[in-house]
Structure 1
Amino acid sequence: MKKMKWLALLSALILLFLSACGSSSTTTIKIGEVTRSLFYAPQYVAIEKGFFEEEGLEVELQTTWGGDKTMTALLSDGIDVALVGSETSIYVYAQDSKDFAVNFAQLTQTDGTFLVAKEEKPDFTWEDLKDSSFLGQRKGGMPQMVGEYVLKQYGIDPHNDLTLHQNIEFANIPGAFLSGDYEYVQLFEPTASVFEKEGNGHVIASFGEESGHVPYTVFMAKQSYIEENEENIEKFTRAIYKAQQWVQETDSREIAETIQKYFEDVDLDILTSSIERYKNQDSFAPDPILDEEEWNNLKNIMDEAGELPDGDISYEELVNTEIAEDVINN
């Protein structure tokens, strides 16, 4: 009889323990990524390796296709966190937004595009771009501004020394280059490598190597959201930092295998070589801190492109490094 009572008590305790474990709260955070890109490998790693889950977070990832659409989704509360170029936070701030976007965790620290030519260019020099037909990116976006910045470093005026086309939507640029009469284009990986493999283009230069460190893609949230959810933002940043460290320490093949589900139509070897390209030029930020030198480089690039708004673009207001610093130190 006593044995039965003990068994009943033990069963009750086990059920109570399981119930307590099951009741632990999980917070959902909605992320909007500006595009689907291998350039964002650490984000996919954070999901697939369970780093968000370890922090008690469940992320809902959606691709919002373009900086303007991403920021509209963020400001209208369609998403909680945006993964987008940090220049967008400057544009919003310049519009005197009362609840502006704050950059809190940097993901990539170089431009992610490569110069792709339709024909082979074994002896390529930047001078070859003069008088050519160049399929550019969206006006005011980071790829286009960095592209113009690099060309100017080589004495090329992108609006007068070549024919610059900017009338194609971001998602349609690869197809337009393939079917059009353009000689050059800026492409992200793995698209650039796919074009190479299929004989539709040739990677001849890297804009990331030419432009230096810049806060190219950053996680940002509205000021009010960060203030009201600081603990969850810290957990989010910690998950990203774990992924950044893992990417730094892991070979490209294993990274590619880990995130292959996000690029189902791309051969594993292409994913591997593309990740290796990004790793070789230090595109993946090793930690989430956006430092002031990178911020100033961003402003110089925007200024060169004629896109930097008038007035003080405050690093102190638009960048929060305290959360990332706490994560790294603890």
Structure 2
Amino acid sequence: MSVWKKTSLLLLSMLLLASIAACSWGKSDKVRVAEVTRSIFYAPQYVAISEGFFEEEGLEVDLTTTWGGDQTMTTLLSDGADIALVGAETSIYVYAQGANDPAINFAQLTKTDGTFLVSREKVEDFTWDDLKGSTFLGQRRGGMPQMVGEYVLKDNGINPRTDLNLIQNIDFGNIASAFASGTGDYVQLFEPQATLFEQEGIGYIVDSFGTQSGEVPYTVFMAKESYLEKNDDTVERFTRAIAKAQQWVHEQPASVVAESIQPFFDDTSLEVIESVVERYRSQGSYAQSPLLKEEAWYHLQAIMDEAGELPAQVEYETLVNTDFADRIE
């Protein structure tokens, strides 16, 4: 064999090995995430995708919106997703049903309620007593918005069963349209709907359930216990990416955050997204760390108990895994 042929074969072999190595080094672990709804409330999650924080950790995130707590948990438990972004109360419901492979909360994304009290009329010097005798369009029973809503009403001296006309039989997706069509004097709404109603003159934000309810693990990332055990390194990298995004959201101007997440909200203007990001951030809704605190866990159960929805008291260590958040501190 000629020297030229030997050299060519050697170069070809080296190129082939380099190509294989490059493919191996560039390979990302895929993580399927099911989010309970699409919301600016979850801005750090979208930032982790758009700013490449997941990619930096060697992760490829496949995000699916599953629209509702029940559907999200069904998707997670049936292995349709690896990780779910949903209210922490759902893990308690599943555990109370005797799950053999329970959903474990490992990273907190939001730490307050995300809804606002919207009045049909402009109210000067609003007080919660103004709700007495009114018709209040609330959220569906058993979900965190409804439970926090009633907790805040009671905390402000309002009996939701006797002091006002409480409507809770309208599906989540139809609450805003029901209010817009004339139902209710007050309504409990998420953003950006609350801000859009203000812009359109349909309603006016008079208070925040998030500032009234205190810190609570309102939305968390959870996975089945078996997944956490088998994918320790992947979950740690996932948690690190979320932590980076949480800090980024707090450090960057609201306008920059809005530009980063706008591709996830095609039907919402950049101006509205910026306004909502600033509102949530100013009231401390975005957690600055993925660590779910023990006192917040028990505050969640106190709210559930007050609403008559707590199936059983569950210890913090049973359904909360802080290992991943602790490692990245």
| Among candidates 182, 185, 205, match of residue 183 of structure 1 | 185
Q: CA deviation at 1:187?
A: 1.1
The residue that corresponds to 2:108 in the other structure is: 106
The residue that corresponds to 2:89 in the other structure is: 87
Q: Is residue 2:303 matched to residue 1:321?
A: no
Tell me the SS of whatever aligns to 2:142: coil
Tell me the SS of whatever aligns to 1:23: helix
Q: CA deviation at 1:177?
A: 1.5
Alignment of 1:50-199 (within 5 A): 50-199=52-201
Q: CA deviation at 1:181?
A: 2.0
Does the CA-based 8 Å contact 1:65-1:171 persist in structure 2?
Answer: no
Structure 1 vs Structure 2 CA RMSD: 1.6
Does the CA-based 8 Å contact 2:137-2:183 persist in structure 1?
Answer: no
Structure 1 runs of 4+ off > 6 angstroms? 1-5
| Among candidates 210, 213, 216, match of residue 212 of structure 2 | 210
The residue that corresponds to 2:236 in the other structure is: 234
The residue that corresponds to 1:18 in the other structure is: 19
Q: Which letter does structure 2 place at the counterpart of 1:322?
A: D
Tell me how far apart the structure 2 counterparts of residues 128 and 11 of structure 1 sit (CA, whole Å): 80
The residue that corresponds to 1:300 in the other structure is: 302
Tell me how far apart the structure 2 counterparts of residues 239 and 308 of structure 1 sit (CA, whole Å): 32
1:211-249 alpha-carbon deviations (Å, 9 max, x no partner)? 111100000011111111111111111111111111111
Q: Is residue 2:280 matched to residue 1:278?
A: yes
Q: CA deviation at 1:296?
A: 1.3
Q: CA deviation at 1:5?
A: 6.7
Gaps of 5+ in 1: none
Tell me how far apart the structure 2 counterparts of residues 208 and 314 of structure 1 sit (CA, whole Å): 24
Tell me how far apart the structure 2 counterparts of residues 275 and 56 of structure 1 sit (CA, whole Å): 28
The residue that corresponds to 2:245 in the other structure is: 243
Count matched residues.
327
Q: Which letter does structure 2 place at the counterpart of 1:33?
A: E
Q: CA deviation at 1:118?
A: 1.4
Q: CA deviation at 1:18?
A: 3.0
Q: CA deviation at 1:9?
A: 4.4
Does the CA-based 8 Å contact 1:31-1:79 persist in structure 2?
Answer: yes
Q: CA deviation at 1:4?
A: 8.7
Tell me how far apart the structure 2 counterparts of residues 271 and 286 of structure 1 sit (CA, whole Å): 20
Tell me how far apart the structure 2 counterparts of residues 180 and 72 of structure 1 sit (CA, whole Å): 35
Q: CA deviation at 1:6?
A: 5.7
Q: CA deviation at 1:77?
A: 1.2
Q: CA deviation at 1:19?
A: 2.7
Tell me the SS of whatever aligns to 2:328: helix
Gaps of 5+ in 2: none
Tell me how far apart the structure 2 counterparts of residues 114 and 130 of structure 1 sit (CA, whole Å): 18
Q: Which letter does structure 1 place at the counterpart of 2:164?
A: L
Which range moves more in the overlay, 73-82 or 253-262?
A: 73-82
Which range moves more in the overlay, 52-61 or 82-91?
A: 52-61
Does the CA-based 8 Å contact 2:290-2:325 persist in structure 1?
Answer: yes
Does the CA-based 8 Å contact 1:101-1:221 persist in structure 2?
Answer: yes
Does the CA-based 8 Å contact 2:36-2:85 persist in structure 1?
Answer: yes
Does the CA-based 8 Å contact 2:148-2:303 persist in structure 1?
Answer: yes
Q: CA deviation at 1:17?
A: 1.8
- TM-score of the two chains, using structure 2 as the length reference: 0.95
Q: CA deviation at 1:120?
A: 0.9
Distance change (3 Å), C-alpha of 1:9 and 1:162: same
The residue that corresponds to 1:29 in the other structure is: 31
Which range moves more in the overlay, 65-74 or 20-29?
A: 20-29
